[in-house]
């Protein structure tokens, strides 16, 4: 992004800055410049909105035919999708004779600038890949091949959710159709960027949608490693993929390595479709979860009430099991309070109820009130202490003395109300 000072300095040598294209688009800033075109910020004076205007160089020709331009523009503008930069207009400025496109202005960086600072986390890369693969699936379903998938053509709009950083948008799709591929290839120009060309593009063969999948694979590999798979001069970079596959680090999770290898297969027939890639991103391991490069197995934890299933590495499961081996398991909510009281007195956990018993328990309206059961449990513990402690003390005091007949038990204290009734019932149930 140019500063105001740079924009003023450029306006002296760039006639497009400050001009009004086609009496409608007032250009006021330079976004970026490439070999085929320069992209500017502009105001749409007719609709009162900010737009991006891509003005092609004088040596680039192809959209002189007004009827074909309108037809192709209508087709590309109909491909509305969150992962595609919307095309608004394509025209030719009568004054400068420059052809230009008018597109949605995305407030954010492109992926190329982000990768200049280093690789991005797997979680972010998976979401960017999902966006781009879905966008490519949309344009491929309409018979359009992008031909120039690269980081500079991926715009990253800031996301409004705390769970993701960006919403990725693919720009410049369909330009080959607008500029007329036959004219471009007739002049010996290869449509695409050398570092991301597919092998069939390098060989000058017919190009289909699988070429975009290949380029997307190289883009993804660069995003997660921070290294361009085929660096160097244009000729060296383009020809290298004809003799070797890109290097995929073994440190990446196995599912990432498998997907990258499939996307960058030298044979177009062996590559997945963009739809296949988009679906595959839903199960990619991110941030250490899932299968790792070392082949850690996956375990699925029990589903929560919302149906959420969590994936944990086996090492995490083993660590959890060995952290506190003697800790008692928490009693499930389906175990009733009377059973809990029995466990308190006896120290023995009852057998888990069957599924049918659990269902019956949850629908049984005759359960004791929790407050009564808690009071009952406390009373039973107190009574047990009254009975057990004197017996233990007496046994200790009379150790070694001749055995005497056991004295008759003292009568149980009288307790009134519902609690007394439950105590009497319990005494009758346990009496021999």
Q: What is the pLDDT of residues 331-346, one digit of tens each?
A: 444 334 444 333 333 3
**Does residue 207 share a domain with residue 126?**
yes
DSSP-based three-state secondary structure for 308: coil
What pLDDT was estimated at residue 422?
60
Last residue of a domain, one of 104, 138, 163: 104
**Does residue 62 share a domain with residue 175?**
no
Q: Tell me which residues of the chain have a pLDDT lower than 50.
A: 1-9, 289-374, 376, 380-381, 387-393, 395-397, 399, 401, 407-408
DSSP-based three-state secondary structure for 88: strand
DSSP assignment, residue 170?
A: E
**Does residue 383 share a domain with residue 295?**
no
Q: Which one, of 140, 171, 135, 128, lies nearest residue 153 by Cα? A: 171
**Does residue 82 share a domain with residue 213?**
no
Q: Which spans in 150-189 are helix H?
A: 175-179, 181-186
Q: Is residue 399 part of a domain?
A: no
What pLDDT was estimated at residue 341?
37
**Does residue 153 share a domain with residue 58?**
no
Q: Which one, of 389, 367, 382, 385, lies nearest residue 415 by Cα? A: 382
| Catalytic residue IDs | 148
What pLDDT was estimated at residue 411?
55
CA distances from 121 to 252, 262, 280, 315 (A): 11, 21, 18, 22
**Does residue 121 share a domain with residue 155?**
yes
Range of the structural domain that residue 20 is part of? 4-104
Dihedral pair phi/psi, residue 278, rounded to 5°: -60, -40
Within 224-329, strands assigned E span 298-300, 311-313
**Does residue 169 share a domain with residue 82?**
no
What pLDDT was estimated at residue 97?
83
What pLDDT was estimated at residue 298?
26
**Does residue 267 share a domain with residue 214?**
yes
pTM of the full structure: 0.62
Number of domains in the chain: 4
What pLDDT was estimated at residue 262?
98
Query: For 377-420, what is each residue's pLDDT tens digit?
Result: 555 445 555 544 444 445 444 545 455 555 445 555 565 666 66
**Does residue 218 share a domain with residue 144?**
yes
């Amino acid at each position: 992004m140019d500063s105001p000072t740079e924009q003023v300095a450029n306006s002296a040598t760039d006639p497009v800055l400050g001009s009004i294209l086609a009496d409608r688009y007032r250009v006021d800033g330079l976004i970026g410049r490439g070999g085929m075109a320069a992209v500017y910020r502009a105001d749409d004076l007719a609709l009162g909105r900010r737009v991006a205007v891509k003005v092609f160089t004088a040596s680039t020709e192809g959209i002189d035919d007004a009827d074909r331009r309108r037809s192709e523009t209508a087709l590309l503008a109909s491909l509305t999708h969150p992962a595609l930069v919307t095309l608004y207009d394509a025209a030719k400025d009568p004054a400068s004779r420059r052809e230009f496109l008018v597109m949605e202005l995305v407030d954010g960086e492109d992926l190329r600038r982000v990768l200049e600072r280093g690789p991005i986390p797997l979680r972010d890369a998976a979401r960017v890949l999902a966006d781009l693969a879905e966008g490519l699936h949309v344009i491929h379903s309409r018979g359009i091949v992008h031909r120039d998938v690269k980081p500079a053509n991926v715009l990253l709009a800031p996301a409004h959710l705390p769970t993701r950083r960006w919403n990725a948008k693919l720009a410049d799709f369909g330009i080959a159709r607008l500029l007329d591929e036959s004219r471009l290839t007739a002049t010996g120009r290869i449509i695409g960027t050398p570092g991301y060309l597919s092998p069939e593009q390098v060989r000058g063969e017919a190009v289909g949608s699988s070429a975009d999948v290949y380029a997307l694979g190289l883009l993804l590999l660069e995003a997660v490693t921070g290294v361009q798979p085929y660096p160097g001069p244009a000729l060296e970079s383009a020809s290298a993929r004809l003799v070797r596959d890109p290097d995929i680090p073994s440190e990446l999770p196995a599912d990432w390595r498998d997907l990258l290898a499939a996307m960058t297969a030298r044979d177009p027939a062996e590559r997945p479709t963009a739809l296949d890639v988009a679906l595959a991103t839903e199960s990619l391991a991110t941030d250490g979860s899932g299968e790792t490069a070392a082949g850690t197995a996956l375990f699925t934890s029990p589903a929560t009430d919302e149906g959420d299933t969590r994936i944990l590495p086996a090492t995490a499961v083993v660590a959890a099991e060995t952290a506190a081996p003697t800790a008692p398991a928490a009693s499930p909510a389906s175990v009733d309070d009377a059973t809990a009281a029995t466990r308190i007195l006896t120290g023995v956990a009852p057998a888990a109820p069957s599924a049918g018993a659990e269902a019956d328990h949850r629908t049984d309206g005759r359960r004791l009130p929790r407050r009564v059961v808690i009071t009952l449990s406390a009373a039973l513990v107190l009574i047990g202490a009254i009975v057990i402690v004197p017996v233990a003390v007496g046994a200790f005091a009379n150790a070694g003395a001749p055995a005497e007949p056991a004295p008759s038990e003292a009568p149980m204290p009288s307790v009134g109300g519902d609690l007394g009734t439950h105590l009497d019932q319990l005494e009758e149930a346990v009496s021999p």
